[in-house]
């Protein structure tokens, strides 16, 4: 990934996605906005106690700095499930200046130009999808529940159904997210991953002692999209752990929940 800065606003981009001429994408950091106190300063969440006017201003600031049209933004409504929502220009503003009309949306897809998909993160795993042949895109939020629910697979299936996507034509970028170095869970959570018997669980569940386990959600999501037909050479995993890099990125665990929220942005030009 590359760290960019414009107008005092830092943001991350994937080199692989930047090579695709018809899309524009970015991933925010915790810096460059107007929020204060525990949300200082680039916070995109209305639900964590920050002032709404600050959150809206952050969207405007980031859009201008990173090269997106604020008027084209469409946000998710995440609750750690696996619903994939196709969106068009009819959904402009949902979750920002329009009320959310669906209360469970953890992935967004579109094949319409000038519709900017926006999804939210603060340790959970972002998934970027680009169909380079049919010119369709998707963003998904994969926490541990979404990962176990195979949200990456569901995005691929929905893009295949609606946009005639061939999974072998899809580029997938995974992260930044809390990584195996920092993501400790208990046995009840780990058991959900041990149940993914068609995957190489040993590559993403690591017993720590009799009661705790370390999880690699990025690797789990990589295997899930490979099983969905995505070519391994078309997958890029970020090496940025949100908790290890909590000076740059929002991390729920690093802040004990006192935090703002980052966003992934992507649109077809």
Predicted confidence (pLDDT) per residue in 76-128, tens digit = 999 999 999 999 999 999 999 999 999 999 999 999 999 999 999 999 999 99
Q: How far is CA 183 from CA 29, 143, 189, 231, in A?
A: 20, 11, 11, 27
Give me the sheet containing 205-207, strands edge to edge. Answer: 184-186, 212-215, 205-207
Counted domains in the chain: 1
How far, in Å, CA of 186 to CA of 212, rounded?
5
Question: Residues 228-245: what's their mean pLDDT?
Answer: 98
211 domain residue, yes or no: no
Place of tokens 């720590």: 208
CATH code for position 33: 3.60.140.10
Question: Residues 21-33: what's their mean pLDDT?
Answer: 98
Residue range of the domain that includes 6? 2-180+217-268
pLDDT at 258: 97
How far, in Å, CA of 130 to CA of 128, rounded?
7
194-221 tens-digit pLDDT: 999 999 999 999 999 879 999 999 999 9
pLDDT at 148: 98
pLDDT at 199: 98
205 domain residue, yes or no: no
86 domain residue, yes or no: yes
240-252 tens-digit pLDDT: 999 999 999 999 9
Q: How far is CA 143 from CA 6, 183, 235, 268, in A?
A: 30, 11, 18, 25
| Percent of the chain surpassing pLDDT 90 | 99
> Would the pTM of this model clear 0.95, i.e. be above it?
yes
204 domain residue, yes or no: no
pLDDT at 252: 98
Q: Which residues share a beta bridge with 73? A: 116
71 domain residue, yes or no: yes
194 domain residue, yes or no: no
199 domain residue, yes or no: no
Does residue 226 register a pLDDT over 90? yes
161 domain residue, yes or no: yes
pLDDT at 210: 75
């Amino acid at each position: 990934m590359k760290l960019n800065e414009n107008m005092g606003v830092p943001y991350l981009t994937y080199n692989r996605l930047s090579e695709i001429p018809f899309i524009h994408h970015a991933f925010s950091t915790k810096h460059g906005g107007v929020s204060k106190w525990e949300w200082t300063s680039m916070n995109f969440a209305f639900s964590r106690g920050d002032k709404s006017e600050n959150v809206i201003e952050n969207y405007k600031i980031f859009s201008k700095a990173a090269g997106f049209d604020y008027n084209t933004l469409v946000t998710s409504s995440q609750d750690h499930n696996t619903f994939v929502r196709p969106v068009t220009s009819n959904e402009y503003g949902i979750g920002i200046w329009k009320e959310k009309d669906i209360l469970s949306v953890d992935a967004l897809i579109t094949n319409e130009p000038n519709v900017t998909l926006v999804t939210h993160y603060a340790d959970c795993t972002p998934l970027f999808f680009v169909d380079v042949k049919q010119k369709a895109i998707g963003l998904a939020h994969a926490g541990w529940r979404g990962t176990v629910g195979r949200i990456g697979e569901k995005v691929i299936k929905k893009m295949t159904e609606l946009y005639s996507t061939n999974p072998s034509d899809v580029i997938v970028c995974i992260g930044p997210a809390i990584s195996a170095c920092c993501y400790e869970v208990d046995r009840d959570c780990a058991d959900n991953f041990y149940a993914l018997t068609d995957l190489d669980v040993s590559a993403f569940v690591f017993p720590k002692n009799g009661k705790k386990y370390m999880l690699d959600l990025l690797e789990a999501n990589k295997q899930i999209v490979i099983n969905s037909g995505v070519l391994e050479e078309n997958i890029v995993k970020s090496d940025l752990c949100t908790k290890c890099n909590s000076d740059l990125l929002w991390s729920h665990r690093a802040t004990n929940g006192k935090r703002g929220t980052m966003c992934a942005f992507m649109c077809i030009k």
